[in-house]
Amino acid sequence: MKEEFLHYLWEFQKWNGSGLLTSTGSPLQVLSPGTHNFSSGPDFFNSQLLIGEQKWAGNVEIHLNSSDWYAHHHETDANYDNVILHVVWNHDAEVFRKDNSPIPVLEVEAVIARNAIANYEHLMKGPPGKWINCEEDFREFEEFHLQSWLERLYLERLEEKTAFIEKLLKGSENDWEQVLFKLLAKNFGLNLNGEAFLSLAESVPFSLIRRLASDQKGLEAVFLGQAGFLETASPPFERGGDAHYRALREIYRFLKYKHSLQDTGVMPMVFFRLRPDNFPNIRLSQLASLYHKTPRLFSEVINAENTEELYKLLNISASEYWETHYTFRKAHKRRRKAVSRSFMDLLIINSLVPLKFCYAKAMGKDINEKLLGLMGSLPRELNTITRGFEGLRGKVFENALQSQALLQLKKHYCDNHQCLKCRLGVQLLQRS
């Protein structure tokens, strides 16, 4: 038995028809179970009860055992002074208020509706080798309820990303332009080099990025130099060959000295298992191109109304040198290394939309519907999780909002067996 199941029983009042009694035999009528509290403090706020002939209004606390009240030190916490009922599975100790009056207790083991227990056990047990607990029933969820829950999950995911953006904002002295640069840098590095790209972005004062915006070669030299790509050549290479390399190195050495740049905190970047188009030097060149093309990128992103406007901002490519190179020294047939549409989608999903959401929230504006519409216009992401859900239901997840929501569902609910906090899980528990 889990305490979360007791929360569910109380919230939805899943009792048999015999009537409720407190541990002392007083009739108990629940006028309102109250509001479920997911933060610190009592489990339900503003409950209304009738115990005997006395009406009570206050909070309800739920535990597996009555003695957990003392194990959790609620007797010393003023947040629990207004508890009017203690709901427990096992009543093994009396709990008293500060005036020494006992807090009424509802022991629920004997009054739970039988179908509630059966549905709970069926859901939590699931099939052998299950991917998610409800996989046998996932196809049966009504489309309206499913899509409504996915929208809520996506907004929840945005809220989580807000915490990271707020951390960047604090470290950037509330400079939103700088925060956008760090967000984009992290996502230009993808999963493998994301943290390394972020460490590079944090090593370069954003005032220098602004100053060098008109000098694409200077920007690229700073990025590649801070990454350590301009100090790795062997002596024979230094003496011969690549004029572009030597030019970038000289520019970087000058700017490093002039602006006292430090690279000791920049994490090493890796090439292993990356497609050539994702090599970090290529992505850094594209990032330099982006800030050369649109120096005031933040305001453009905030004002963009749709995906086409965002695509236009992100339509950039690596500098000319990289059209014939993937690394220094070795040339290949000329090919423009532009940012692909799928990479633009990744940047919009993971950088631009979260930033727009966080900025609107900071300004006291609600643009949730606009962002939901924007995400709904982006193609879905294909990965093991979205394919797993499609295997249960068929191809019904068609856009980025839904695929992002499915990532949230799997990671935070399914994998952690949080079915009692999931609308779909609760829906299954409600079956007769």
Residues 162 and 154: beta-carbon distance below 8 Å: no
Give 7's Cβ-side CA count (13 Å radius).
Answer: 16
Residue 234 pLDDT class (50, 70, 90 cuts): very low
CA-based end-to-end distance of the chain: 21
| Rounded distance between C-alpha atoms, residue 319 and residue 57, angstroms | 68
Query: Which residues share a beta bridge with 32?
Result: 48
Q: What is the dihedral of CA 351, 353, 354, 359, to 10 degrees?
A: 110
Q: Phi, psi (5° rounding) for residue 165? A: -65, -40
What pLDDT was estimated at residue 125?
77
Q: CA 163 to CA 160: how far, in whole Å?
A: 6
For residue range 388-421, what is the model confidence (pLDDT) as tens digits?
999 998 877 899 999 999 999 999 999 998 999 9
1, two tokens? 């038995």
| Cβ pair 152, 423 in contact under 8 A | yes
Beta bridge partners of 83: 59
- Residue 232: other Cβ atoms inside 10 A: 9
Which residues sit opposite 399 in a β-bridge?
A: 379
Distance of CA 122 to the CA centre of its chain: 29
User: Where do the domains of the chain lie?
Assistant: 3-112, 172-339
CA 156 – CA 133 distance, rounded (Å): 21
Both tokens assigned to 207: 């005032």
Q: Please report which confidence band the pLDDT of residue 241 belongs to, taking 50, 70 and 90 as the band edges.
A: low
Question: Using one digit for the tens of pLDDT, what is the confidence trace for 349-396?
Answer: 999 999 999 999 999 999 999 999 999 999 999 999 999 999 998 877
Task: Please give the Cα distance from 185 to 168 (Å, whole number).
Answer: 12
Amino acid at 262: Q
Note the pLDDT tens digit of each residue in 79-134: 999 999 999 999 999 999 888 889 999 999 889 888 888 888 888 876 678 899 99
**pLDDT for the residue 118:** 86
Q: How far is CA 166 from CA 177, 190, 202, 359, in A?
A: 13, 21, 15, 10
- Given a contact cutoff of 8 angstroms between Cβ atoms, the answer to whether 33 and 11 are in contact is yes
The burial of 344, by beta-carbon neighbours within 10 Å (0-12 exposed, 13-18 middle, 19 or more buried), is given as buried
* Whole-number pLDDT of residue 311: 98
SS3 87: strand
